[in-house]
Amino acid sequence: MSHPSPAVRRVSDWDNDRLAALADEHGTPLYVLDTDRVRANYERFAGAFEEAHVMYAAKAHTGGAVLETLLDAGADIECAARGELERAVAAGADPDTLQYTAVNPPDADLDYAVELGVEYPGFTVTGGARDTFDRLEARGYDGRVAVRVNPGIGTGHHEKVATGKDAKFGIPYEEVPALAAELRERFDLVGLHAHVGSGVLHEDLDDHCRAIATVADLAREVGDADLEFVDFGGGFGVPYRPEEQPLDMDVAAERVREAVGELAATVKLEPGRYVVADAEVIVTRVNTVKETPETTVVGVDASLATLVRPAMFDAYHPIANVTAPDREVEPVSVGGPCCTSADVFCTDRPLPRPAREDLLAIGNAGAYGYELASHFHSQPRPAEVAVSGAEARVVRRRETMAGVTRVERKAPGTTEQADDGVPREVAGDDRLGDSRGASGTEGEPE
């Protein structure tokens, strides 16, 4: 039985008074995360797929508040990079339950994965290239591995997320049986893995299930009785556009069961976007309203550095006028302060006409929102507030300019502004950190 929470949360369902109060207290642009919604989305998905092992795909949102909420709800975590592994462990994940899906992994990532695998024998590495397995073996790793399969079928909301037919991801389908036999001599081969794409809704289920059936057939050819799991990835979508309907998860689950058929191995699934997308919004303040012959341009303090998905994927994000939801509607184009025409959240979209100082909410910002935030134009990254019931807490501080520039090195003897705003002389220390940089230090957003 799936969880009774609503299958979709539209941007208009958020409490405007509360969003305005949070913006007044914490400034804008501001990410507002509802951890209760994160939990409800996970429980709805896990309830529909109660016979599967459900893991959260951390790359959608690696914030500590999200990971802690999902671990508390009983989710395991799938990671695609060393940093995600470290954050999952810091949030309380048992490393023996972690699955690392290596995509062209840097040396530092593999080194860390091998260290985890030595200390925690339940840890699993999924490889999508022969080189990855060779590099693991060269490091002395002989533990649990899975093979990422490229089924040659991709689907989803944009060609850049249709991973199932992208040569970057996975071993070609026809090469897997021979590779699996080889890997059984070198490692503990425990599974197969595939990921078809992202943003799958009802119209994409046919292709999605065709890929699942393909991988299930491959598992039976390889010997599913000798595998612990077959991981069919995530990709389940949420409706971004108002006319789109949410997935009926019970229907989707039945379609997936039919596609899998009889399988001795455990079915794994990795929802990411489905869990977090509609659990977060960005609140941004209007600073400019400009009439032009073509359109009314509305300038806000959020930008593509805050949310890059519209610029990167041509993604649609719903927008609501928090301050005046009942004002007369007219077509407007909303964009940020970056000096590029890509910094636009919508063009000629009917909205309650914004005025300067109005607050707008940009919906469905939880998946690949803060994850892809940048320092373009030297913009500090925004604060993030997590709400749960009546409670609200800052889970990422608003970044300062000292945080933006802290990794830059000036010449010894010159001065630089420290995190506390006090200029200090730069010492003659030109040592470099590791390839990932520092984390969690004062002046950074978390």
* Residue the block writes with tokens 């501080």: 397
Q: Which residues contact 264 (CB under 8 A, 6 or more apart)?
A: 224, 225, 227
Give the HSE-up count for residue 52: Cα atoms under 13 Å, Cβ half-sphere: 25
Give the 3-state secondary structure of residue 268. Answer: strand
Measured in whole angstroms, the distance separating CA 292 from the mean position of its chain's CA atoms is 37
Using a 10 angstrom Cβ sphere, with 0-12 exposed, 13-18 middle and 19 or more buried, the burial of residue 424 is: exposed
Burial 309-333 (b: 16+ CB within 10 A, else e): bbbebebbbbbbbbbeeeeeeeebb
**Residues 420, 424, 427: CA angle, nearest 5 degrees:** 125
- To the query of whether residue 339 is one of the catalytic residues in this protein, the response is yes
Sign of CA dihedral 438, 439, 440, 442: positive
Q: Which of 209, 338, 339, 346 is catalytic?
A: 339
The pair phi, psi for residue 396, each rounded to 5°, is -140, 125
DSSP string, 46-91: HHHTTTSEEEEEGGG---HHHHHHHHHHT-EEEESSHHHHHHHHHT
Task: Put residue 77 in one of left, alpha, beta given phi > 0 → left and psi -120 to 50 → alpha.
Answer: beta
> What is the CA 178 to chain-centroid distance, rounded?
33
Closest CA to 368 of 319, 320, 306: 306
- Residue 24's contacts (CB-CB under 8 Å, 6 or more residues apart) are none
* Cα Rg of the chain (Å, integer): 23
| Residue in this structure with the two tokens 């290596």, named with its chain if needed | 102
Q: What residues are annotated to the active site?
A: 339
